[in-house]
Structure 1
Amino acid sequence: MQDPFFFGYGSLVNRRTHVYERAHPAEAQGWRRLWRHTAGRDIAILTAVPAAPSDSIEGLIAAVPGGDWAALDLREEAYDRLPATGAIRHDSDAGHIAIYSIPETKHPPAPAPCSILLSYLDVVVQGYFDVFGEAGVARFFETTDGWDAPVLDDRAAPLYPRAQKLSAQETKLVDRWLSELG
């Protein structure tokens, strides 16, 4: 049996945050990223949402050994795991590919915009920088909607459970993009 794969487009692009070793760069056609604001959470959640066929987002696909989704489904508990094989472009032997997404109707909307957690954003940008370089970081910001939310600076005491230490270059890159977004 061939292992199934997932397409990661946020923190799962950062290989330091997971144990899935067979990972390859990929692109999800017809998808965009969005900061989703849901009731009961103080923090915005990065999700992938269906978009125009001309839209696409970069990320990683990685094998889920033996199809054992339990740990990954627990990590992504706020999301639905959806089939996405036909939408994912890649240069690997991957067969079945899933993507985690939060449909707009899955959780009640938040009454006001939630904060984007800086320690989480740092992890995502670090992953994109490692895999796709500065140009990939630029594409991450450009293909993600919802930047009008406030950013909670928790770098001194990270709230994100998989927070990583950033290099000075990575920190400057995140800060520069946030500054450009206003």
Structure 2
Amino acid sequence: MDQRLARHAPMSTPYFFGYGSLVNTRTHDYADAQPAQLLGWKRAWVATDLRPFAFLSAEPELNSVIDGLIAHVPGNDWAALDQREFAYDRMDASADVTHAKSDPIRIAVYSVSNERRVRAETPPRILLSYLDVVVQGYLRVFGRQGVADFFATTDGWSAEVLDDRAAPIYPRHQRLSDEETSLVDHHLAALEATRVQPS
């Protein structure tokens, strides 16, 4: 884990910045969740040697801004969240996040380290059940424009999308409304994403 986190004053309250599935509060019970923005970072689908499917990572990118959610990590106990985000490194992003909190907080963001990334000749597939969860979260927090911004500010859409809705693979999958399902399908169609069925 990033040692820079230890340099912050102990009076600071620990928070994380979520930019993917953590935006969907149905997937966790962390308190004081509220909208925020991460400056100087972008979102991208990446491949790692720790997971069989593509998943979202935050990457430094000058002049880029992404919407997300901050939430409190009670008791400075990162163990459960680190386990959920086991393929990531936890990094200090306190200076890069804008938010409405007035009390001192420190904010971590999860990012896949270069050591864990793989450059596969064929990009790993994106799980539709995972993407559904992310879009549901953005719709509820940021509305339809927020969903459009999510698709526009995410790199890596050349990967195939595995349509596993009938038998979701993502462990924190959620039931979507017809509106939410249609919204996901609309944006994938606009990107001309390739959807494939499980074999």
Could you say which TM-score interval applies, normalised by the shorter chain?
over 0.9
Among 80, 84, 92, the alignment partner of 2:93 is 84
Distance 1:15 1:137 in 2: 16
Unpaired runs of at least 5, structure 2: 1-10, 193-199
Query: Counterpart of 1:24?
Result: 34
TM-score (norm: length of structure 1): 0.96
Report which of the two structures shows the higher radius of gyration computed on alpha carbons: 2
Contact 1:31 1:55 in 2 (8 A): yes
Partner residue of 2:44 out of 16, 34, 37: 34
* 1:59 partner SS: strand
State the SS of the aligned residue for 2:13: coil
Q: Distance in 2 between matches of 1:140 and 1:79?
A: 20
Cα displacement (A) at 1:38:
2.5
The percentage of counterpart residues that share the same residue type is 58
Residue pair 1:41, 1:114 contacting (<8 A) in 2 also: no
Partner residue in 1 for 2:3: none
Q: Which residue, 22, 31, 42 being the options, matches 1:12?
A: 22
The 1:156–1:70 alpha-carbon spacing in structure 2 relative to 1, beyond 3 Å, is same
Is 1:167 the counterpart of 2:184? The answer is no
2:125 alignment partner, one of 99, 115, 131: 115
- Candidates 88, 96, 111, aligned match of 1:101: 111
Q: Please tell me the root mean square deviation across aligned C-alpha atoms, in Å.
A: 1.2
Deviation at 1:77, TM superposition (A): 0.3
Deviating beyond 2 angstroms after TM superposition, the runs of 4 or more aligned structure 1 residues are 38-42, 103-111
Amino acid at match of 2:36: A
Q: In structure 2, what is the Cα distance between the partners aligned to 1:75 and 1:162?
A: 11
Structure 1: runs of 5 or more not aligned: none
Deviations 1:47-104 (CA, angstroms, capped at 9, x unpaired): 000001x211000000000100000000000000000000000001351000000023
Q: How many residues align?
A: 181
Match of 2:84 in 1: 75
> How far does residue 21 in structure 1 lie from its aligned partner after superposition?
1.9
Does the alignment pair 1:64 with 2:73?
A: yes
1:143 to 1:115, Cα distance in 2 relative to 1, 3 A? same
The amino acid across from 1:73 in the alignment is D
What secondary structure does 2:116 align onto?
A: coil
Answer whether contact 2:46 2:56 (CA < 8 A) is retained. yes
Cα distance, 1:45 vs structure 2:
1.4
Query: 1 CA distance for matches of 2:187 and 2:109?
Result: 26
Aligned residue identity for 1:164: Q
Name the residue aligned to 1:138. Answer: 148
Q: Distance in 1 between matches of 2:24 and 2:50?
A: 27
Q: TM-score, normalised by structure 2?
A: 0.88
